[in-house]
A and B are shown apart, each in its own frame.
Chain A
Amino acid sequence: MIRFEKVAKRYPNGHIGLHELSVHVRRGEFLFVTGHSGAGKTTLLRLLLAMERPTSGKLLLAGQDLAKIRNSQIPFLRRQIGVVFQNHQLLFDRSVFDNVALPLHIMGLGQDEINARVSQALEHVSLKDKAMQAPADLSTGQQQRVGIARAIVHQPALLLADEPTGNLDPRLAAEIMAVFEDINRHGTTVMIASHDLALIARMRQRMLTLQRGRLIGDGESGL
C-alpha cells in the first residue's frame, strides 16, 4: 500500500523533515506514527497527501510514485485518502450533513448517492440523528466524529489522522480510537500520527517511532 524507500525531505531553510526513511505499510494495516514535536510525523503525512514532495528517495502509494506525480493528478490521489485533523477543520457555516457530503460533492455524485453514503458514514460514527445540526452545537468529541465521517464517506483506501485525539479527554480519545479500529476492520488502511503514548500503548498496534526525521523504532505498541 505505502512504501517509503530512503525518502528524505529537506526544507529550504536547512531543516530536515525526514532522513532517508524506509518503511513498508501493507494494505489494511493499522499503525501509529509517534515521536516528539519536530520528529517528522507531520512531514510524513504531508508527503503522503502530496502537499510536499520528497527531496530524494521513492515514495509509492498504491504503486504511484508521489515524488513524480503531476500536479493535475494530486486531487484525484487525495480522493483515495481520508484525512482527520486535530482541530476537525469543520465548516461552521453549513450543517453536519453538508460537511460530511463535501468530498462526495467534489466527486460529483448524485444527490441520492450522497444521501445514502452520508447517512451510512454518520451512522458509523453514531451521529445520524445530528445530521441537520450545526457543528457548533456539537461537543468537541462529536465534532471530531463528524471529521471522521467526512474522512470515510468517500470510501478511501487510506485514512490519515494527525493528532486526532489531541484536544480530547482520555475517555473521548478512547472512543475515537475505537471508531478508527472499526474503520480499519472494514479494510481501510489507517495511519495515525500521535504523541499520546499511553493511548497508543493500550491499542497494541504497529508503531513507527521517529526522532529528528529518523526512524528509530518499528514494532507493536505496548510491548
Chain B
Amino acid sequence: MSKRITPDQPGQRIGATERAKIDGPPVENTAVLAQLKAWMISHKFSCMDSLKRLLRQPFGSFFTCLVIAVALSLPMGLTLLLKNLNELGGTWQQAAQISVFLDLNAKPAEGQALQKRLLKHPSVAEVEWISREQALEDFQSFSGLGQALQDLPQNPLPSSLLVTPKQVDKAELNRLAADIQALPKVQQVQLDILWVERLVAILQLGERFIFALTVMLIAALLLVVGNTIRLHIENRRIEIEVIKLVGGTDSYVRRPFLYMGVLYGLGGGVLAWLMLLWGFSWLNESVVQLAELYGSDFSLAGVPIEDGFSLLFGALLLGYFAAWLAVAKHLRELLPS
C-alpha cells in the first residue's frame, strides 16, 4: 500500500521521475533550450513517422508520386522544349530585323556614320552596314541572275543597314522604325512586322497554353495530394481524437500530414526530374539526326540543374500546400467525440 501524500505535492504523482522530484523549476534559458530541443525532436519524430507510413505502402506511395511527377513534368517539359526551339529558330531579335535602305547617292562614310548613330539608340542591339557593292555581290550569288546583273550599266542596289532590335515588341519596333525613317539619307525602312507579329503570337500562344496546362495540372495535383492526405487522416481518425484529448495542439496533429505532403511532393519532384532527363535524352537522338540533315549541330539542352532544383522546390511546396488545405478542412471535423 502506497503512503498517502498531500495533494499539493504534484511532483510525487505517478510517473514523476527522480529528477523531476528533486529539481526546482528550470531557469528561463534552460526552458527555452529545452523547448527548442523538444520542438526539434517532435519534428524529427513526425518526419520519420510519415516516412515510415509511406514506405509501409510502397506501391500506393509510388503511384501517388508518379501522378505528381506526370502532372509536373508535362508543363516543365513543354517549357524546356519551347526554350530549346527558340534557340533552334535563332533569336526573336534576328527575326525582327529592320532593313534600312539608304539613298542611292549616300556615300559609304555617310552609311557608316548612320550605323554608329543607330548603335547609340536605346532600342538597338546591333547594326550591320552593307555597302552597294556587297549588296550586288550577295544578290548575284543568291538570285541566280549574275550574268543579267553584270550587263546593267550601273549598280541599281542601294547601300543598307540591318538593324537588330533589343526587344521584340510591336509598339517599340514601330517607334524605332519611325525614328530611323526620320534620319537623313534614309530612303526606306522595311520592317517585316507581320512575321514578327506571327512569331510573337505563336510565342504567346505557346506560353498561354503552357500556363493553362500548368494551372489545370496544379489544381489536379492539389486534389490528388489533398485526397491522399484525406485518406490518411480518415485512417488515423482515432489517433487524432486521442492526441487531441491528451493535449495535442492542432499544429502537432497537422505536422505528420504536412510532412507527408512534403514527402509526396519531393518524391514526385524527383521522379519528374528523372522523367524529364530520360525524355529529353530519348528525344535528343531524333533531334540530332534531324538537325544533321539540315547541316546543323543543334541538340536539346536537356534539363538545366537550376530548373531541376526549381522543379523539386515547387513540387515540395505544392505537396505542403495541398496537405495544409486537406488538414485544415478535415481537422475541424475531427473534434474528439
Contact among A75, A109, A121 with B244 in the assembled complex (CB-CB below 8 Å): A75
Q: Is A124 an interface residue (CB 8 A)?
A: yes
Q: Is B4 an interface residue (CB 8 A)?
A: yes
Query: With A78-B245, A102-B243, A152-B14 known to touch, is A185 a contact of B336 (CB < 8 Å)?
Result: no
Query: With A51-B335, A107-B38, A154-B15 known to touch, is A75 a contact of B10 (CB < 8 Å)?
Result: no
Query: With A28-B7, A187-B7 known to touch, is A120 a contact of B246 (CB < 8 Å)?
Result: no
Q: List B contacts of A1 (CB < 8 A).
A: 7
CA A177 to CA B34, docked complex, whole Å: 37
Contact among B9, B42, B242, B250 with A91 in the assembled complex (CB-CB below 8 Å): B242
A83 touches B245 (CB 8 A): yes
Q: List A contacts of B62 (CB < 8 A).
A: none
> Binary interface profile of A, 20-31, with partner B (CB < 8 Å = 1, else 0)?
000000111000
Q: Is B126 an interface residue (CB 8 A)?
A: no
Q: Is A202 an interface residue (CB 8 A)?
A: no
CA A109 to CA B37, docked complex, whole Å: 9
Query: With A51-B335, A108-B41 known to touch, is A186 a contact of B5 (CB < 8 Å)?
Result: yes
What's the minimum C-beta distance from B25 to chain A, rounded to whole angstroms? 15
What's the minimum C-beta distance from B124 to chain A, rounded to whole angstroms? 62
> Binary interface profile of A, 55-79, with partner B (CB < 8 Å = 1, else 0)?
0000000000000000010011111
Q: Is A14 an interface residue (CB 8 A)?
A: no
What's the minimum C-beta distance from B58 to chain A, rounded to whole angstroms? 17
Q: Is A49 an interface residue (CB 8 A)?
A: yes
B247 touches A79 (CB 8 A): yes
What's the minimum C-beta distance from A202 to chain B, rounded to whole angstroms? 17
Q: Is B55 an interface residue (CB 8 A)?
A: no
CA A120 to CA B2, docked complex, whole Å: 14
CA A121 to CA B41, docked complex, whole Å: 22
Query: With A75-B248, A91-B242 known to touch, is A108 a contact of B35 (CB < 8 Å)?
Result: yes
Count of inter-chain pairs, beta carbons less than 8 A: 116
CA A103 to CA B39, docked complex, whole Å: 14
B14 touches A78 (CB 8 A): no
Q: List A contacts of B238 (CB < 8 A).
A: 89, 91
Contact among A72, A106, A187 with B246 in the assembled complex (CB-CB below 8 Å): A106
Q: Is A182 an interface residue (CB 8 A)?
A: yes
What's the minimum C-beta distance from B327 to chain A, rounded to whole angstroms? 16
Q: Is B169 an interface residue (CB 8 A)?
A: no
Residue from the set B6, B13, B20 with the largest chain A CB neighbour count within 10 Å: B13
CA A156 to CA B336, docked complex, whole Å: 19
B38 touches A187 (CB 8 A): no
A51 touches B336 (CB 8 A): yes
Chain A interfacial positions (CB closer than 8 Å to B): 1, 26-28, 49, 51, 72, 75-79, 82-83, 89, 91, 102-103, 105-111, 113, 116-117, 120-121, 124, 150, 152-157, 182-183, 185-189
9 A-B residue contacts at CB 8 Å? Answer: A51-B335, A82-B246, A106-B247, A106-B252, A121-B15, A154-B15, A185-B2, A186-B13, A189-B7
Chain B interfacial positions (CB closer than 8 Å to A): 1-17, 19-20, 35, 37-39, 41-42, 45, 238-239, 241-250, 252, 335-336
Besides A79-B247, A121-B14, A154-B15, 7 more A-B contacts (Cβ < 8 Å) are: A91-B239, A102-B242, A103-B247, A106-B248, A109-B38, A152-B14, A155-B16
